[in-house]
Structures are given as C-alpha cells and as structure tokens.
Amino acid sequence: PTLTEGWSAEKDFKPVASVTASTKRTIEPIGPHFLAHARRARHKRTFSEDDRI
Amino acid sequence: MAENKGVAPDERTVIGLSFGNSYSSIACTVDDAAVVIANEDGDRQIPTILSYVDGEEYTGGQAKAFLIRNPKNTVVSFRDFLGQDFKSIDPTHCHAAAHAQDVDGGVSFTIQDKAEGEPSTVSVSEISTRYIRRLVQSASDYIGKKVTSAVLTVPTNFNDKQKDALVKAARDADLEVLQLVNEPVAAVLAYDARPEAKVEDKTIVVADLGGTRSDVAVVASRGGLYTILATAHDYEFAGAHLDKVLMDHFAKEFMKKNKDVDPRENARSLAKLKAESEAAKKALSIGTNASFSVESLAEGIDFQSTVNRLRYEMIARKVFEGINRLVEGVVKQAGLDVLDIDEVIMTGGTSHTPRIAANFRSIFPETTVVQAPSTSSTSINPSELLSRGAALQASLIQEYETEDIDQSTHAAVTTVPHVTNAIGVITLSEAGEEAFTPIIAPETALPARRTVHVEAPKEGGDVLIKVVEGNTHIKVTKPEPKPKENGAKDEDEDDSDFDSEEDEEEEHREKIWKIGTALAEASVRGTKKGSKVEVTVQVAADLAVTITTREVGGKGGVRGNLKAP
C-alpha cells in the first residue's frame, strides 16, 4: 500500500511485535536441502555465510 | 539407530533398498538419476518371499510360485515381524505359508531348508538376512561391483527395536546401513529429485498403498526440508483385501458351475485362487478386462472366467472407500483441510489402481496434483518411488563418514521450531482491499529465509510494507444451507462423476487468508512506476526476524530486526 502522510520511523523501519507462535517438530533427515541445513547447524553458520562458501 | 560398523567412504558402492512385507525393490543412481534394478528374473518388484525346495534357496517370483506346491517351506510377509514380540504380531498373512512361531518371545519359522535331515527353526532376523543377501547379490550383479552399503526405507511407525532389528539383519547380510529413512519422505524425494522439479513450499499427502498395509502421511515440504505433520496406518484396506474381493468373486462363480465345490476350502486351491486373483487385479489396473484361468482349480476341474474393471470396482467399493476415509482422516488429523493439500503422491503397488486415483481426484480440489499413472502423465511408477528415494539419499551421503551421518541425523539437528502462522505482507487487491501475500508458509522449519516480489502501486511513489502474520480458514458458501456440513462431499455414494459435479454446485468451499498480528512496518520511498518491491524475511531459530525491503533493481533498501519473543 501507499505510504500514509506523516509516517516516519527510525531508518524507515518500525518493529511492532515478535513472531507469536511456534512448535517444535522434527524435520526428516533426507535430501540435499536437509544436508545443507545440517551443515549450517553443525557449524553454526547463517544463510549468508553459507552462501559465500 | 544402531551403531554401524562402517565402510570407508571411498570404498562404498551404495544402493537404495525398500524392504516391504509383500514386495521389495532395489535401486542405484546412474549420473545422479535413480534407476531401479531388476533381479535375475527380470522383476523390479521382487516378492518378499523366501522358499526352500530340496535344500535349494529361492526368493522373489520363483519363491512365490512355490506357495502352491510347497507352502510349508515358504516364508512370506515377515518384514513387520522384525524386532517384534510374538504376542504383538498379526500372523494373518502367513496362514497360507510357513507359520510364525513363538521362540523365546520372538518370531521364528520352522522350514526344511536343507536337502536332508530335520527341519530348521529360523528366526525372522535370519530369514530377513538371507532375503536381503539375495537382493544385494542381484544389485551387485547389475552394478558389477560388490554392493557394500545402502539406505533402507522404514514405515513411520517402526519403533527403535524394529529399526535396530532391521539394521542387524542387514548387517548380518554384510550390508552397511548408512541410514534408515521414512517411507513417505523417500517418495517425496524421488519426485523432488527430478531435474524438472522446483523446490516449492507445499503440503503433500503421501498415500502408500501396499499389499498388507496402507500408510498415509501428511508432509510439509518447505524449502526442500520435509516435516511429517500426521500419519495413519491401516491393515484392513490394502492390496490383499482387493485380492480377497476377487477371490470371493471367482470362487462364487466357480461354485455356480460346480455345485458343492468351494475352492476356498482346500489350501492348495486357495493358493491357486489367490495367485491368479492378484494377477487379474494387476491386469485390471492396466486394461479394462482381465481373464482368470486356473488349471485344476479344485477337484481336478479347470476354471476360466473374465472380469471387467467396472464390475471389479463395484465389488471392491468397500475397500476403496476405506482408503478414502484413511486419507481424509489423516488430513483432518494434521489440522488441515483438503484445500490445504497441494499434491497427493501415490506410492505402493495398490496405487496403480485407477479407481483409487479417481477417488482422490474427487476428494481433493482441482488445483491439487494427484501423482498417479492414471491421473498424471509425469508421474513416476508408484512401485519404484521408495527405492528411488532411498537410492538418491544413499548417493548423497555415501561420501560422508559414518560418524558424520549419525551426528547429522541426531535429534539436536532434526528437532527445530516451526512457525505456526504464515508470515507475509499486506498487499492491495485491484479493488483496493487489503489482502495477505504469504512469504513464509505455516509449518516452515526454522531458520528459514524467503523472498517475494510484490507489486508497488502503479503510480509509483512511496510504499509502505506491512509485515504481518496470517493464517487460513475455509470459507463455505452454500446457496441452500444443508444440515450437514461437508457431508455431500464425503459420501460420494454411487461413484459417478455426475454426482460429484452436482455437489460442487451445491457448496463452494475456498481457502481464505486471514490477517493476524502485525509484526513490522517499513517504507520504501520513491519507487518508479510499475516497479516491484522485494521483501526478504529471515526467521532465525530463536524466532528473531530480519526483514529487508528494497525496490527491485534499486540500491540500499530498508533493513530491520525483530527481537526474539
């Protein structure tokens, strides 16, 4: 939507709330994307760090 | 999982093995594509049967043929007995072959497996080992190298004891088990690994319709990561029950011509009846007519008959309806509606039945893809999915050290939070109404990162991006209110297409996004006419959110963080 008049925030970003709900579930250890996830999880890398390698 | 003894990664030759109660299948990968291996009889679906005649060991189709002449020394349907207490097994399917016996609480069979001497009592573990050894031999012959390692598929309700027993049986057959994977996800992987497949966020129902059991799972596929949301297992509506329907049908017909002779009352006649009924059932999945003929079916009388598909579908309706209920039940159990399902993957031998796919087609909305030979030209053979998935996984992990595989599959890695609600942005529809565009789908495993492009206003200018949570609900519009919601859809009484078309006119159900809690607002200033805004949302494992927005092609952009709750 178009910006309303007089909207302003620090650095143009206004946090309102956090994500409300999540559940613990088990992902299936299968497939190339899981192996990428496991690699990130074990080396504690973020997505962008992983992209660079 | 039990400890593996381990083969050095560079010395491995790997296969995928799907070990079933009725049939097993082996596959390897050639140039990153999965290939299902035929055994020396030319079978790709190899009956899970082990038989001994004059001390000679037979497996697969040859062993199956001995069910008629040599049932006592033939072992069938034993996979589900692995790691089980004798008390908890259901030996129904063994009645026509070697019977399961209680030995120290476990399951064993007494068979004459030597040319001479006393019959041996062989544990189900040893039976499995002998059978797996033969499968591995077939694979080794095909590949031309000794197969050392494999990924095996298991049902989702296999407990640790059963898994350990399976790993032990395989290891005793000199086969290293790299990993056990759940059957439904192996089927999903087999589809996702095709070169033309795109990794998408979608919710999939995997209907594994086998010989002695049917297993259905709802799988959330999010960015190539799979999470099982619900599972159901059924032992009443499967292939064997369809065989039974045909057996009864032909037995009655036989009795019409030959009074007082019931081929079901004699073990050998029954075995012939069963073998030919299964063959007729398979023929009816391909053609619309099947012939049935058995020499000397009972009391030396030959029997010949035919059955057409329509008649078969009528007499098998109860079983088909049971399968429908199973699928509908598991979708409900996942807290979802049929409208939430993007794809139905049919796997297992019974999935070749065109009527079952047609029934699924009418249960699910038109947008849902039903992957079965009769409803999709791009579908993969349902009998091959599990071994293909296993083979692909095996080729992915064959270079890993055993220790790495164990660590990666550890619960600490696999148990992660999943967002309950969708996260998306508010967009304006053409009518100027606020609508929700999802960026991260519900049940996405964290951490996750997704990017979407949303239309900026046509006239350009400053844009406000509102990031909100959202969830779906089902809106039902009914011209004439009916007392029972959803009833018309479930019944589908006489299975005719005409009927289901009428139902759709009567009620219209659609999935609607509801806008939930606002998370953040950001502005992108001075966009050009008709340009798009790129919004990237990244949710960390601790639920902290990073949002980046910028005009497509533009520089800089706005970046902000939401704290973890």
- Per-residue HEC secondary structure of B324-378 comes to HHHHHHHHHHCCCCHHHCCEEEEECHHHHCHHHHHHHHHHCCCCCEEECCCCCCC
Band of residue B78 on the pLDDT scale cut at 50, 70, 90: very high
Interface of B with A in 398-427 (CB under 8 A): 407-409, 411, 413-421, 423, 426-427
Size of interface A-B (CB pairs under 8 A): 180
Q: Cβ of B121: how many Cβ atoms within 10 Å?
A: 12
Position B559 pLDDT exceeds 90:
no
At B298 the pLDDT is 92
The confidence score (pLDDT) of residue B193 equals 93
Please name which of B425, B426, B455, B432 lies closest in space to residue B531, comparing C-alpha atoms. Answer: B455
A-chain CB neighbours of B229 within 8 Å are 25
Residues of A in contact with B416 (CB under 8 A): 24-25, 27
Model pLDDT, residue A13: 82
Distance from CA of A39 to the nearest CA of B (A): 8
Distance in angstroms (rounded) separating the CA atoms of residues B345 and B348? 10
Contacts of B560 in chain A (CB under 8 A): 11, 13-15
The pLDDT, as a whole number, for residue B183 is 97
Total-model pTM: 0.91
Q: Which two three-digit tokens encode residue B433? A: 């109404």
Q: Tokens in use for B430?
A: 């053409």
Beta-sheet pairing, A22-26 with B23-30: unpaired
φ and ψ at residue B67, rounded to 5 degrees: -60, -25
By DSSP bridging, strand B49-53 and strand B56-59 are antiparallel
> Which residue numbers of A have CB closer than 8 Å to B's CBs?
1-4, 7, 9, 11-35, 37-42, 46-47
B492 has pLDDT over 90: no
Q: What pLDDT score does B497 carry?
A: 46
Q: Is residue B461 a contact partner of residue B429, using CB atoms and an 8 Å limit?
A: no
Task: Identify the band that residue B543 occupies on the pLDDT scale cut at 50, 70 and 90.
Answer: very high
Residue B506 banded pLDDT, cuts 50, 70, 90: low
Main-chain dihedrals φ then ψ at residue B60, nearest 5 degrees: 65, -140
Residue B525 in this model has a pLDDT that exceeds 90: no
Query: Residue A17: its chain B contacts at CB < 8 A?
Result: 517-520, 562
Q: Is pLDDT above 90 for A43?
A: no
Main-chain phi, psi angles of B441, to 5 degrees: -75, 155
Q: Pick B27 or B489 by higher pLDDT.
A: B27
Distance CA B268, CA B54 (A): 20
| Residues of B (332-371) whose Cβ lies below 8 Å from A | none
The rounded distance, in Å, linking the Cα atoms of B518 and B364 is 32
Residue B148's identity, in one-letter code, is T
What integer pLDDT is reported at residue B487 of this predicted model?
A: 47
Residue B24 structure tokens:
């097993």
**B144-179: pLDDT as tens digits:** 999 999 999 999 999 999 999 999 999 999 999 999
Q: What value does the mean pLDDT take over residues B539-564?
A: 84
Chain B nearest C-alpha distance from A44 (Å): 11
Of the pLDDT bands very low, low, confident and very high (cuts 50, 70, 90), residue B550 is confident
Percent of chain B scoring above 90 in pLDDT: 76
Q: Does B523 touch chain A (CB under 8 A)?
A: yes
Which of B445, B543, B547 is facing A27, going by the closest CB pair? Answer: B445
- Interface touch B228/A13, C-beta < 8 Å: no
| Predicted local distance difference test score (pLDDT) of residue A53 | 54
From residue B5, give the alpha-carbon distance in Å to each of A4, B2, B303.
Answer: 66, 10, 54
Phi-psi region at B527: left, alpha or beta (left = phi > 0; alpha = psi -120 to 50): beta
Query: Picking from B46-50, B244-248, B404-408, which range would have the lowest pLDDT averaged per residue?
Result: B404-408
- What pLDDT is stored for residue B55 in this prediction? 94
| CB contact set of A39 (below 8 Å; sequence gap of 6+) | A45, A50, B408
List, in order, residues 6 or more apart from A47 with CB less than 8 Å away.
Answer: A40, B447, B449, B538
B374-433 pLDDT, tens digit per residue, is: 999 899 999 999 999 999 999 999 999 988 888 888 876 788 999 999 999 998 766 778
The mean predicted confidence, pLDDT, of chain B is 90
B46-47 and B23-30 as β-strands: parallel, antiparallel, unpaired? antiparallel
Q: Which of A15, A28, A32 minimises the CB distance to B560?
A: A15
Predicted local distance difference test score (pLDDT) of residue B173: 97
Please give the average per-residue pLDDT across B130-138, as a whole number: 97
Residue B128, pLDDT > 90, answer yes
Measured between beta carbons, the chain A residues lying within 8 angstroms of B559 are 11, 13
Integer Cα distance of B184 and B345 in angstroms: 9
CA pair distance B563, B544, nearest whole angstrom: 5
Judge whether B17 and B389 are in contact, CB under 8 Å.
no
Percent of chain B at pLDDT > 70 equals 93
B496 vs B337, residue with greater confidence: B337
Taking only Cα atoms into account, the Rg of chain B, rounded to an integer number of angstroms, comes to: 27
Mean pLDDT of B188-210: 95
Picking from B123, B119, B120, B83, the residue whose alpha carbon sits closest to that of residue B102 is B123
Report whether pLDDT(B332) > 50. yes
CB B281 within 8 A of CB B259: no
Of the candidates B193, B409, B518, which has its C-beta nearest A17's C-beta? B518
Chain A residue numbers touching B413 (CB-CB < 8 A) = 29, 37-38, 41-42
**A7-21, B329-343, B420-434, B498-512, range with the lowest pLDDT:** B498-512
Model confidence pLDDT, tens digit, residues B15-30:
999 999 999 999 999 9
Q: What is the pLDDT of residue B493?
A: 46
pLDDT reported for residue B451: 93
Task: Give the model confidence (pLDDT) of B350-366 as tens digits.
Answer: 999 999 999 999 999 99
More confident site: B225 or B432:
B225
Residue B142 has pLDDT above 50, yes or no: yes
Q: How far apart are CA B181 and CA B397, in angstroms?
A: 12
Count CA atoms closer than 13 A to B274's CA, side-chain side.
23
pLDDT of B2 higher than 60? no
Assess whether pLDDT exceeds 70 at residue B203.
Answer: yes
User: Of B418, B437, B467, B545, which to mutate for an interface test with A (greatest number of A Cβ within 10 Å)?
Assistant: B418
Stretch among B14-23, B316-325, B333-342, B528-537 having the lowest mean pLDDT: B528-537
**CA–CA gap between residue B135 and residue B62 (Å, rounded):** 14
CB contacts, 8 Å: A6 with chain B: none
- The residue with greater pLDDT, B293 or A14, is B293
The verdict on a CB contact (< 8 Å) between A2 and B457 is yes
Confidence of residue A49 (pLDDT cuts 50, 70, 90): low
